[in-house]
Amino acid sequence: MHIKENIEKIRKEIIETAKNSGRNPEEIKLVVVTKTHSAEIVDEALEAGAKYIAENKIQESEDKLPKLKNKYEEFHFIGHLQSNKIKKLMPMRPTLIHSIDKISTAKKLNNYLGKENLTQNILIQINTSGEISKSGIEPNELVGFLEEISQLKNLHIQGLMTIGLNSPDESKVRQNFHELNKLFELNKNNPYDNVEMKYLSMGMTNDFKIAIEEGSNIVRIGSAIFGKRIY
Ligand SMILES: *Cc1c(COP(=O)(O)O)cnc(C)c1O
């Protein structure tokens, strides 16, 4: 594996794509998705300059993070969060949970945080592709969702996340990202003191350039850095 070269290549591509679309490359965060890869491999990525790492499974994170020899600046949780796993996730201090899409889970998270006197930064996951297999609320549910979730005062809602359609048809993928960006912009002006539209998390190995062109400021990249995942 050529982790260092791969990270450098991705960084270059992020910078180039941002510049070509008139954006400041420094506002785009590269989150390195380390799921399925061993602590040794993740350590290599950290040595190669990765700063922000992401996992999608609680158990795997619990096993892996304590084994890391190198420091990371931020740990992001990008997977489906089951409410019975909240108390396992929180001691890992995720900088950002990208994937909140249920009020019931949000309430349980908020209760947990309240008891511990903590707050948590989260994003709301939106299903922009319309695939039934995908998590996330429907785009037209966002306004109502914000109204409810904004009452949970230990949560800080910092933006939106989506997984684009897995398709070779670039225009369809772009449409998903375009729609998320529209929602992001529309909801910047909202009446809630714990809701801000700061992060737009979209773009993975196959579509991060399109996502950046459509306004993403967090890309979540695994395979382009570590190669294909073996489950
Ligand atoms: C696995 C995963 C990624 C990274 O996917 P790649 O195509 O390997 O870059 C990004 N986001 C989420 C939510 C994931 O589960």
Per-residue pLDDT of 51-60, as tens digits, reads 999 999 999 9
For residues 97-111, give the mean pLDDT: 98
Nearest-CA residue for ligand 1 atom 12 is 78
Q: Please give the pLDDT value at position 136.
A: 97
Q: What is the pLDDT of residue 174?
A: 98
- Torsion angle, alpha carbons of 221, 46, 56, 114, to 10: -120
Q: What is the pTM of this model?
A: 0.97
Confidence check: pLDDT of 40 > 70: yes
- Which ligand 1 atom is nearest residue 226's CA? 8
210-226 pLDDT, tens digit per residue, is 999 999 999 999 999 99
Angle at 68 between CA 229 and CA 46, to 5 degrees: 70
Domain count, the chain: 1
pLDDT of residue 1: 66
Establish if 231 belongs to a structural domain: no
pLDDT tops 70 at residue 107: yes
Residue 132: the pLDDT is 85
Q: For a pLDDT cut of 90, what percent of the chain falls above it?
A: 96
| Dist CA 74 CA 31 (whole Å) | 9
Residue 126 belongs to a domain: yes
Encode 121-132: b = buried (16+ Cβ within 10 Å), e = exposed.
bbbbbbbbbeee
Whether residue 95 is contained in a domain is answered as: yes
Q: If you average pLDDT over every residue of the chain, what do you get?
A: 97
Ligand 1 contacts (CB < 6 A) are 33, 35, 56, 78, 163, 204-206, 220-224
Tens of pLDDT, residue by residue over 136-151, are 999 999 999 999 999 9
Distance 20 CA to ligand 1 centre (A): 24
On whether residue 98 sits in a domain, the answer given is yes
Asked if residue 155 belongs to a domain, the reply is yes
Q: Tell me whether residue 183 is in a domain.
A: yes
Contact 18, 28 (CB under 8 A): yes
| Within a domain: 213 | yes
User: What's the domain range around 98?
Assistant: 3-226
Atom of ligand 1 nearest to the CA of 33: 4
Measured distance CA(106)–CA(21) in Å, rounded:
35
170 alpha-carbon distance from chain centroid: 21
- Mean per-residue pLDDT, 8-21: 98
Residue 92 CB-density burial (10 A; 0-12 exposed, 13-18 middle, 19+ buried): middle
Strands (E), 74-230: 74-77, 96-100, 120-126, 155-162, 195-201, 218-221
- Per DSSP, the three-state class of 133 is coil
Is residue 206 included in any domain, yes or no?
Answer: yes
Amino acid, single-letter form, for residue 208: F
- What is the CATH number for 222? 3.20.20.10
